Amino acid sequence: MSEQERFISPDEVRHVARLARLALDDDEVGRMALQLSAILEHVDAVRRLDTADVPPTAHPFPVENVLRSDTETPSLDRETVLAQAPRAENDRFRVPRIMGEAP
């Protein structure tokens, strides 16, 4: 494996692209492997950081319990929404056949 492939290989790129539902042709896969490797090399400092006693920060500020009351608010007009749909039928959004079952 070359230096630049050290961080991510074309096969891994294909796997990630499947997870992300991105269609990439072979050229793109190759280029992506190189570019992602460069980026991963750049961010490696983060991976190597000693964070023994450091908790992660998910939010800049420690706010808790932001809640709303269980009261109804107006919904959107169905026609307006379906008008934006790439394909609609019988008041629903239409998609081509689904290969997998819902997880």
Backbone angles phi, psi at 62, to 5 degrees: -80, 70
The phi and psi torsions of 46 (rounded to 5 degrees) equal -70, -40
42 belongs to the binding site for other proteins (CB under 8 A):
yes
Which residues within the stretch 53-92 sit at the binding site for other proteins (CB under 8 A)?
A: 54-61, 63-78, 80-82, 84-87, 89-92
AA letter at 59: H
Window 4-33: residues binding other proteins (CB under 8 A): 8, 12-13, 15-24, 28, 32
Residue 90 CB, shortest distance to other proteins, in Å, is: 6
Give the torsion through C-alpha atoms of 60, 62, 68, 73, to 10 deg: 0
Task: Tell the smallest beta-carbon distance from residue 24 to other proteins (Å).
Answer: 7
